[in-house]
Amino acid sequence: MAEAETEMRFDELPEIPEGSTLAAEWWLAWGHLKSKKSEAFLSVITLLSVVGVLAGVAMLNWVMAVMTGFEIDMRDKILGANAHVILSRYGGNIVDIDEALEGVEAVDGVLAASPFLLTEMMLRSPWGSTGVIIKGVDPVRTADVTHLLEDLTEGYDGPHQLLSVYDDGDLDIRRQVISSLVLPFPPMGLDRQAMEVTSEQPELPGIVIGSELQTALQVQPGDRVQLINPLGSGAGPMGMPTPSVRSMRVAAVFDSGMYEYDTKWTYAANTVLQDFLKVGNSASAVEIKVHDIEDAGRVGDEIEEQLGYPYYTRNWMTLNAKLFAALSLEKWVMGLLLNMIVVNAGLLIITTLIMVVVTKGREIAILKAMGATRGTIMRVFLMEGVAIGTIGTVLGTIAGLAGCWFLDRLEYPLETDVYELDTLPVVIDPTTVATIAFGAFVICLLCTIYPALRASSLDPVEALSYE
């Protein structure tokens, strides 16, 4: 029986889905990265490229974490001694304090407010004297606005009580110490035990001093000091100003962690300072604490609208603008300089890929002769650079985070006179970590473009003619 003739109908064949060449391209790229023993030098350069990216990313994370820690610690200490927003009055002191406080507290976002007096005087003890900044505070309100309570280290528990060191964080005891500023209390004996009031040892109002100032004056809580206002009593017979003197008792000692504050700043009750300065019931300004420190500008503007002229406000960002601008500039300049490590690693990536192009010229020519497009060759080399950058960036990020954790646990001690804090601060900012990783990846990607273009433009005929 004759075989039936069959007709091949190509138009009836099913469509073949278009496949992806990415897997093949990655296989080629990975084969280039793990070169043969005869090309061991190329593998060493590849390894150095990965190590360079790793080192750059890790060091950037370490430095940025430490510098961010310094910036945040500095900000917290400044905001601990000062409020977020300061309300002042053109032309002098605020005389209608209650009305100003009522208007401030009516603004949305205000957490607490407290009036204060601020001036410069001299403080003298039997063992020394120095110029100080004295701040009159409201003993009840100031605890809600500043960190004065949290910074107390020692002082009276109250009249006729023993010296105490506040390591237990008992805020009630601390509030009692601050409240005692408005009440005259008796001194302690040389053995720091409570003693009866005598004519030689009168009851005196209290003053809070910094830890460094305590060392300079060689005093303890309960000791007597003299507050001197050089211009207090007006002009004398010869036309020269006559100083006024007020005896005080050291009620407590604070330690803010900032040398400038601990050396110069002192605190007394508003009523005591008002009486000493003879300014009546007035305040230099009102300090305000807000719910969100980043919202201080908006709160300040609303307070100005609420109270109107002659009141005006300044917030912590404007008061310390130059300091924080300098810290920010220092951080980014340091980051830019350290980023040169990643750039150098990128140059190694360029060197690695150019050497691959030179050594693999015959393979590239054969691939192009077999139909590989310029895009295919370009993607192979882009994948090689991306692989180096990704491995280095991931390992560098892991090493950077591990190093930050170690530095944080180590609590490396610092000289407080120089750095104004006792241990090395480390703060990991996720945004900064992500930015560093993304930047390193982009640098590595950009460094692969030239070698990839060079490889894709290789003429197969010319390349094979030398083989």
* 398, pLDDT greater than 90: yes
Q: Which of 215-224, 273-282, 452-461 has the lowest mean pLDDT?
A: 452-461
pLDDT at residue 367, rounded to an integer? 72
CB contact at 8 A, 303 and 311? yes
Torsion sign (Cα): 396, 397, 400, 402? negative
* 281, pLDDT greater than 90: no
* 177, pLDDT greater than 70: no
- Within a 10 A sphere around the Cβ of 336, how many other Cβ atoms? 10
DSSP 390: H
* 224, pLDDT greater than 90: no
Specify the pTM. 0.65
Where in the chain are the domains?
21-75+324-465, 117-283
User: What tokens does 18 get?
Assistant: 């278009």
Convert the pLDDT of each residue in 28-63 to its tens digit: 777 666 655 555 666 777 788 888 888 888 988 898
Percent of the chain clearing pLDDT 70 (strictly above): 75
* 178, pLDDT greater than 70: no
pLDDT at residue 171, rounded to an integer? 58
pLDDT at residue 395, rounded to an integer? 92
Mean pLDDT over 404-419 rounds to 76
Mean pLDDT over 309-320 rounds to 84
Mean pLDDT over 182-211 rounds to 58
Residue 7 CA to residue 109 CA, distance in Å, equals 86
Mean pLDDT over 437-459 rounds to 83
pLDDT at residue 344, rounded to an integer? 80
- b vs e for 445-459, b when ≥16 Cβ sit within 10 Å of the residue's Cβ? bebbeebbebbbebe
DSSP 283-334: BSEEEEEES-GGGHHHHHHHHHHHH-TTEEEEEHHHHTHHHHHHHHHHHHHH
pLDDT at residue 456, rounded to an integer? 76
* 425, pLDDT greater than 80: yes
Q: Which residues have CB under 8 Å from 145's CB, separation 6+? A: 83, 112, 113, 114, 287, 288, 289
Convert the pLDDT of each residue in 354-391 to its tens digit: 877 777 767 777 777 777 777 777 888 888 888 888 88
Q: Which of 67-76, 117-126, 355-364, 442-451 has the lowest mean pLDDT?
A: 355-364
Residue 179 CA to residue 172 CA, distance in Å, equals 10
Better-predicted residue by pLDDT, 112 or 465:
112
Better-predicted residue by pLDDT, 75 or 51:
51
